[in-house]
């Protein structure tokens, strides 16, 4: 039974299909592991044992009668604490929402439940999802699997930790500037960001709706593809995926600058493996990206402030000061500045598509740095700001350019390689990622 804790979600589903794994025993195994884990309370904001067992019992009945709803029917999953859960607290990592209990599930949770997935708990996160580090002195800071004194990455911090520490086989998070991919990279997981709008965000506590997306943190690309379908995406077949002949572009502008030693080395080693497997690698600057980063200030904080202003006016003193400062900066931008920034960004997106049209994916290190220590971040405000901006730098390219993106572990602890494809190319990207995954292991 202990082997279940390290298995992929897809393998657990196949075990249920064969009759080798009982969904109720499986749910109990993960619930027990979460309760007994020494850092479990830093990873899960709350477990949902009653819901989990009810859903697992139904999955058991379906398995016994040959009526399974999907390949993940009966498989446990953790949910970031910004997905509404009916009758269960959803507080988005902030004391400003303490005691908030929604009446209905988020739409993606409705979809997952309709496909038989078993909700086992809600995971901690960066406050209101507005940080790439995962540091949250207000609720809890989840640890990195490779360094217990370091942050796990944000904002889907507990989501990544729940899978990395073996107390969930699969996690669902959100990604506005990198919040699925940063913690996935730092915890040696697969993280998938679909195109903005590909999955519904109804019932998801909003940060910046213009960029908010829903995505899985998983052990394998197969798990990411299956969960994407279960959340409401189309069915994706990974059969026949090949890296041989794939055209990959290394973005030399911004993304490859100022890399720490480990991410730089891991990326180049990963590129060598992909090339040996037959991928055709090109390196090219994309200079307009430097200007795209200037759009983040006029676009992210104003919309975040519009969403959170009432809460901050009422109870902003309960916030982590770093997050409060970042959100309230949105009050300083005029409407014409916001509108102009969007106009410029849309033109840059068109430029990206033209410049990268001949390639199957653009690749880069997922995060240019390693996870910093919790104590160092708490001790130095300037260090916190610089590390947060650094952590989100490369992943934010995917959000700014409106792309779908996938991060894979490189084999070097806490480093990832990110593949970016045009909007709507989820199936193509996941097939490419499946082939790259095989080449990298």
Instruction: Report pLDDT digits (tens) over 405-424.
Output: 999 999 999 999 999 999 99
Helix (H, G, I), strand (E, B) or coil at 402: coil
Question: Other CB atoms closer than 10 Å to residue 385's CB: what's the count?
Answer: 14
Q: Do residues 183 and 251 both lie within one domain?
A: no
pLDDT of residue 157: 98
For residue 82, what are its two tokens? 């910004």
What pLDDT band is residue 404 in, cutting at 50, 70 and 90?
very high
How far apart, in whole angstroms, are the C-alpha atoms of residue 17 and residue 25?
14
Whether residue 79 is found in the same domain as residue 203: yes
- Domain membership of residue 237 (yes or no) is no
154 is a domain residue: yes
How many C-alpha atoms does 75 have within 13 Å on its Cβ side? 34
| Predicted local confidence at residue 2, as pLDDT | 59
Dump pLDDT digits (tens) for 419-433: 999 999 999 999 999
pLDDT, tens only, 300-327 = 999 999 999 999 999 999 999 999 999 9
Helix 296-315 and helix 321-328, axial crossing angle in degrees, nearest 10: 120
Do both 164 and 269 map to the same domain?
no
What length does the chain have?
441
Query: What distance in Å separates the CA atoms of residue 11 and residue 374, rounded to the nearest whole number?
Result: 35
Are 177 and 395 within 8 A, CB to CB? Answer: yes
CATH number (domain holding residue 346):
3.90.1300.10
Cα-to-chain-centroid distance, residue 406: 9
Q: Which domain holds residue 9?
A: 2-230
For range 184-197, the mean pLDDT: 99
Of residues 91, 82, 105, 100, the one with CA closest to residue 174? 82
Provide the 8-state DSSP code for 283: E
How far is it, in rounded angstroms, from Cα 140 to Cα 161? 12
How far apart, in whole angstroms, are the C-alpha atoms of residue 23 and residue 327? 42
pLDDT at site 367: 98
CA gap 153, 368 in Å, rounded: 13
Q: For residue 204, what are the β-bridge partners? A: 83
DSSP character string of 36-52: HSTTHHHHEEEE-HHHH
- Asked if the model's pLDDT at residue 126 lies above 70, the reply is yes
Is residue 287 over pLDDT 70? yes
**Tens digit of each residue's pLDDT (9 = 90 or more) over 208-219:** 999 999 999 999
Element (H, E) at 122: strand 118-123
pLDDT tens, 60-99? 999 999 999 999 999 999 999 999 999 999 999 999 999 9
Do the beta carbons of residue 258 and residue 290 sit within 8 Å? Answer: no
If one counts the domains in the chain, the total is 2
Residues 145, 260 within the same domain: no
Shared domain check, 256 and 209: no
Residue 407 placed within a domain:
yes
Catalytic residues: 80, 155, 179
Same-domain status, 380 and 269: yes
The pLDDT value recorded for residue 240 is 84
Instruction: Report whether pLDDT(382) > 90.
Output: yes
**Average pLDDT score over the chain:** 97
The answer to whether residue 303 is domain-embedded is: no
For residue 247, is pLDDT > 80?
Answer: yes
Whether residues 359 and 252 share a domain: the answer is yes
Alpha-carbon span 3 to 174, nearest angstrom: 28
Mean local confidence (pLDDT), 432-440:
98
Asked whether residue 144 falls in the same domain as residue 257, the answer is: no
Q: How far is Cα 54 from Cα 52, in angstroms, rounded to an integer?
A: 6
Give ∠ CA 321-322-328 in degrees, rounded to 5.
Answer: 80
Report residue 197: phi and psi, to 5°. 90, -5
239 compared with 277, residue with greater pLDDT: 277
Percentage of residues in the chain with pLDDT exceeding 90?
A: 99
Cα 161 to chain centroid distance, Å, stands at 11
Do 288 and 224 lie in a common domain?
no
Beta strands 143-144; 171-175: pairing state: unpaired
Other Cβ atoms within 10 Å of 329 Cβ, number: 15
Q: Give the pLDDT of residue 437.
A: 98
Tell me the percentage of the chain whose pLDDT exceeds 70: 100
pTM, two decimals, is 0.98
CB atoms within 10 A of CB 239: 6
Query: Rounded mean pLDDT of 371-384?
Result: 98
Instruction: Give the C-alpha separation, 353 to 208, whole Å.
Output: 23
Domain identity same for 374 and 290: yes
pLDDT in tens, 7-46: 999 999 999 999 999 999 999 999 999 999 999 999 999 9
| Partner residues linked to 192 by β-bridges | 406
- Indicate whether 12 and 94 sit together in one domain: yes
As given in the structure block, the two tokens for residue 388 are: 């947060």
- Retrieve residue 363's tokens: 């690749």
- What are the residues facing 419 on neighbouring strands? 363, 406
What is the predicted pLDDT for the residue at 1?
56
92, 33 Cβ separation under 8 angstroms: no
What does each C-alpha distance from 164 to 17, 95, 185 come to in angstroms? 25, 26, 11
How much is the average pLDDT of 187-216?
A: 98
Residues 119 and 31 in one domain: yes
Main-chain dihedrals φ then ψ at residue 103, nearest 5 degrees = -90, -20
Lookup: tokens for 174: 């959100």
Burial of 146 (0-12, 13-18, 19+ CB in 10 A): middle
Maximum Cα–Cα distance across the chain: 61
């Amino acid at each position: 039974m202990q082997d279940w804790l390290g298995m992929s979600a897809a393998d657990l589903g196949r075990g249920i299909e064969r009759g080798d794994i009982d969904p109720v025993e499986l749910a109990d195994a993960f619930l027990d592991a979460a309760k007994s884990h020494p850092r479990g309370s830093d990873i899960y904001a709350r477990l949902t044992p009653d819901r989990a067992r009810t859903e697992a019992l139904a999955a058991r009945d379906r398995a016994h009668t040959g009526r399974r709803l999907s390949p993940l029917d009966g498989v446990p999953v953790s949910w970031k604490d910004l997905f509404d859960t009916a009758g269960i607290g959803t507080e988005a990592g902030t004391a400003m929402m303490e005691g908030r209990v929604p009446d209905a599930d988020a739409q993606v949770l409705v979809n997952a439940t309709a496909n038989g997935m078993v909700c086992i708990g809600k995971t901690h996160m960066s406050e209101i999802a507005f940080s790439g580090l995962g540091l949250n002195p207000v609720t809890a800071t989840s640890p990195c699997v490779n360094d217990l004194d370091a942050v796990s990455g944000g904002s889907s911090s507990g989501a990544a930790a729940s899978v990395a520490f073996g107390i969930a086989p699969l996690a669902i998070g959100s990604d506005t500037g990198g919040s699925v991919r940063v913690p996935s990279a730092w915890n040696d997981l697969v993280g998938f960001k679909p195109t903005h709008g590909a999955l519904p965000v109804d019932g998801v506590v909003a940060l910046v709706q213009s960029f908010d997306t829903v995505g899985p943190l998983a052990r394998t690309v197969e798990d990411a593809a299956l969960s994407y379908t279960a959340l409401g995406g189309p069915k994706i077949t990974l059969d026949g995926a090949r890296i041989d002949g794939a055209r990959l572009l290394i973005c030399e502008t911004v993304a490859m600058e100022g890399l720490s030693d480990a991410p730089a080395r891991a990326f180049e080693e990963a590129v060598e493996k992909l090339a040996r497997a037959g991928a055709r690698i090109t390196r090219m600057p994309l200079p307009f990206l430097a200007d795209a980063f200037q759009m983040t200030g006029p676009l992210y904080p104003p919309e975040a402030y519009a969403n959170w202003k009432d809460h901050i006016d009422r109870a902003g003193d309960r916030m982590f000061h770093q997050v409060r400062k970042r959100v309230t900066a949105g009050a300083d931008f005029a409407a014409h500045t916001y509108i102009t920034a969007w106009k410029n960004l849309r033109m840059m997106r068109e430029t990206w598509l033209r410049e990268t049209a001949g390639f199957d994916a653009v690749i880069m290190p997922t995060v240019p740095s390693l996870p910093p220590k919790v104590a160092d971040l708490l001790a130095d405000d300037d260090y916190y700001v610089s590390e947060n901006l650094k952590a989100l730098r490369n992943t934010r390219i995917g959000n700014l350019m409106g792309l779908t993106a996938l991060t894979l572990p490189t084999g070097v602890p806490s480093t990832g390689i990110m593949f970016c494809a045009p909007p709507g190319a989820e199936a193509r990207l996941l097939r490419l990622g499946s082939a790259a995954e095989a080449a990298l292991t």
